[in-house]
Structure 1
Amino acid sequence: MRAVPICCLAVTLVLVCGACDLAPGAVEPACEGWRPGDVVLTELLPDPEGTDTGQEWMELYNPGRSAVDLRGLLLYAARPDGSQEKAYLFEASVSVEARGYVVLGDVRSESLPAHVNHSYSDILGSLGNSGGLVGLRCGDVVVDEVRYTGPIRSGVARIYDGKLVPDALDNDEVSRWCDAPASASDGGMRASPGVANPACAGTEDAGVPADSCLSSRTGTVRSLSRPRPGDLVITEVMADPKAVADAQGEWVEVYALRDVDLNGVTLTNEGSGRTLLGDSRCLELRAGTHGVLARSAEATINGGLPPVLGSFAFGLSNGEGSHALRLSLEETLLDEVAWTSAAIPGVSRQLDPARRDVTRNDAPESFCPTPKDFRFGKGDQGTPGAENRPCT
């Protein structure tokens, strides 16, 4: 990623950085504190009816409980392989309300149409009608990025499935996007700029409203069982797998003290790593059982883990230093563990089962390396999804 070149800014807000021969990192971004997922791309119109020029737009959603300001961020667009990138710098404040939407458009006139909140003018050029890549970043932090694929239908927006919780990891999955269905209330309009998306065709019959989920055990839709502080305990961490690469084999184990669903729960680390767990199905964890959250849900590449309850996109640190993992629900902290020691390759760090609560797992001495006699899958030491061993 190239930094924002001063020479580009001095002439225009067009950031086609190849035109300015400046080394990456030479200019600090005017944004701080942004994390992946702080805003989420939820809808695109790459191919409007008629001419594309001046009519394309994209929609952002703020999943947080506080408003955010896009000032200082870069909005970029490129081909699907990332080539020929063009980027727009938000120099002025553009606020996105908590749980609210903002629509950014390729508007070339002085007045904005009713469905567009802010114009990036002609700076991004034309979005690809057969596929492309769009995203936002702050320095080297990618807040969200989406690759969309064709065929794109003229006048039909591509939407992230409205029955799912908007999330910067889940919207990477092409299968979770679809052509916007026609709306009877809007005269058949095939887009929903600035409001919640409808369900993708073929999924709305699941009948899963907000604050509900589809139970895999009963096959029925029910209300979510929201965890409270103390209901979930972080019990095991594999930060440095040896049998497979870190990007496929890292995982975190949690334990439930009562029946809860992890839908809407956020897992974060000590840095910018953040993943919101969401699905139309219930991410059920019964009282007295363990659940595994992993970088990959595929057992053939994640080291042979048992069935994974949810996945996260950020990495876990291996070296010495200040490390932390936190579970939260709508900014209410559910549990947190912190440590400073380096990870042992191929060995998980597990909580003594006698200290399995959100207070005693705060102490570093409550954790210890998994004994060598306890292995899983392809041979790494750990007890994912099973009872931990006492620390001696």
Structure 2
Amino acid sequence: MESTLKNVLPLCCLALPLVFVSGACDLSLGGVEPACEGWRPGDVVITELLPDPEGTDTGQEWMELHNPGRSAVDLQGLLLYSARADGSQERAYLFESSVPVEARGYVVLGDVRSDVLPAHVRHSYGDTLGSLGNSGGLVGLRCGDVVVDEVRYSGPIRSGVGRIYDGRLVPDSTDNDEPSRWCDAPPASDGGTRMSPGAANPACVTPLEGSDGGVSGDAGVPANTCLSSRTGTVRSLSRPRPGDVLLTEVMADPKAVADSSGEWVEVYALRDVDLNGVTLANEGSGRTLFGDSRCLEVRAGTYAVLARSVESAANGGLPSVLGTFSFGLSNSEGAHALRLFLNDTLLDEVSWTSAATPGVSRQLDPARRDPTRNDAAESFCLTPKDFRFGLGDWGTPGAENRPCVP
């Protein structure tokens, strides 16, 4: 780890306490900093901040820089500074050693106080900037009198949530001066942390007004588009056509957990599709329309799970759930069906008449995985007992089905 206790003050400041206030000894003037000639505004851009980590702020705050250029740059000689939003009480850190940033790359700078850097932090500025303001402030970089980038941010700041520059935009030192181009990092599709240190930011959702940073409801993502969890950008929806997506497995009567939280359905995609706008329906009045600002994406040749609950403890230990439905699946004998619709177009349908077997899913033989043969009831069979998932029920949710044995 690079030392967090470097003496980065020039000689004129040695008599002062270890508080980096540029006004006290004019750190911004030539002759004070090591050579950093040739820097221009926008050569690196501030793209993400974590002013208020969960728990204690000390040692856990960080900021992310992006190099939008075609050549690598080195931060050596630059001055990193923070202050109140009005510019007062500035504190600064001088990069005395090499900190390269690759072309189109990112670097995360943190106030790490320990001997080991966390995985997401490339370089520590130690305690030299003090604590970033949780109600607002500014951070910036300069070379002599050239301000390479400076960002003012304002509250409310959410604990444990990164403040990001909109991932739909090309990082720019002028555009990132506009507060409306920043937002709280949106929820991750896997329920993970709401931040992206050292990587491209996800898209901000619009409008950004409101106490939640604009992440509620449909999150303002334009119609016929969705926010991709893989790329962090907004893209056009890939609408399925009949036969593009198949129903391949059904758990109607879980044993490890209650039916109301443990029922699930598996689908398989023959090409890349999004389930946004698709309806799952049963033989009766049960219908659920899958709508979300994020892309409900199923890649070609893969399975996705639709379930009554996303909580692993409640749904029997399912893998990642793409979407949830609200109606129940019948356990009794009789005419049963599941259908997928896009508007009024039927995408796929399966039917059966037998009663559900407690704790065992009904699965499609992979040899019959096509839009025609999965219509036949005999193409499905009970999952073999050797294939258990989660809390012990039999099934292969989100994974390759087992061949049916005569």
TM normalised by structure 1 equals: 0.49
